[in-house]
Amino acid sequence: MADEEDGVLRVVQLHGHPVSYRTAGSGPALLLIHGITGSSVTWGEILPMLAERFTVIAPDLLGHGSSAKPRGDYSLGAYASGVRDLLALLGHDSVTVVGHSMGGGIAMQFAYQFPQACDRLVLVSSGGLGPEVSGVLRAASLPGSEFVLPLVTAAPLRGAADGFGALLSRLGLRTGFDLEEMWRGWSSLRDRESRAAFVHTLRTIIDVKGQRVSAMDRLYLAEGVPTMFVWGDQDPVIPVAHAHRAAALVTGSRLEIFKGVGHFPHRAQPVRFTRLLTEFVESTTPLARSTLPELLRAGPA
């Protein structure tokens, strides 16, 4: 079918809500999870390249993109359960999970909640590995931000910011990719339901002091799970120091730093990112998860 080849947006009903996703290709399954205010669109350049060797599933998380934006649970655990249910509906028992930014936090939660379903873990500029985070996101978590967001996302400002980000991208500046993606995300908050979902999601993971949720005390559970960290060394949202600290705690993990790149390595260097991910999947073997009880008993080193 054409839909299965080109990764156009498809919709299923999940727990009574429409959930949008893109899928393409055949072979081992890859799950791509976007970040906050993002959508499956962020994977647009790499999805067809990955589909040459893999079955790629890229959902719009609830509260994002073209998926429903109900009043409900927007915690990392709820998101992890949601993508697990989508995978089950689509007939996938296990996947390599790739998570960007907040999607990285969801990926780690997915691996923790459903270890049998996680073949590999790829964390791209991931949240959940330290408190430091952009001041813009910390400010957006403050009480009353829901009343300011309609002004920030007003149509004239959206247009100006989109144009500025596109201009910087055409000039080849690193910040162009960050601004383009960030303002695409901010401009998605044009309706009340999207803004409410954003605020509810943000406040489960971030407050004025930074990221509230950390997986650092559970990274030892990833021992033996093929794990790769991918980061831009100029990330203005989540510092690259998080990648170095986390990789040091996961025995056998792989760390790939993209020099001169910001928060969106898969957008800034899509060909390199695709080759790296493909090589990582094809050169590693999923962990036999019967070792999980032993890891829990041993605890962190």
Distant-in-sequence, close-in-space partners of 218: CB < 8 Å, separation ≥ 6: 108, 112
Indicate the helix (H) or strand (E) that contains 119: strand 118-124
Q: Following DSSP, what letter does each residue of 76-113 receive, concatenated?
A: HHHHHHHHHHHHHHHT-S-EEEEEETHHHHHHHHHHHH
User: Is 235 designated active site?
Assistant: yes
CA nearest 74: which of 206, 186, 189? 206
DSSP state of 194: H
Please tell me which residue in 34, 92, 100, 263 is annotated as part of the active site: 263
Q: CA-CA distance, 146 to 170, in Å (whole number)?
A: 33
Please tell me which residue in 40, 67, 94, 101 is annotated as part of the active site: 101
CA nearest 29: which of 60, 61, 58, 64? 58
Tell me the residue type at 32: L
User: Is 17 designated active site?
Assistant: no
The answer to whether 260 and 240 have CB atoms below 8 angstroms apart is no
Distant-in-sequence, close-in-space partners of 157: CB < 8 Å, separation ≥ 6: none
CA 188 to chain CA centroid, nearest Å? 17
Token readout for 255 is 């760390």
User: Is 141 designated active site?
Assistant: no
Indicate the helix (H) or strand (E) that contains 40: none
- Which residues are part of the catalytic machinery? 101, 235, 263
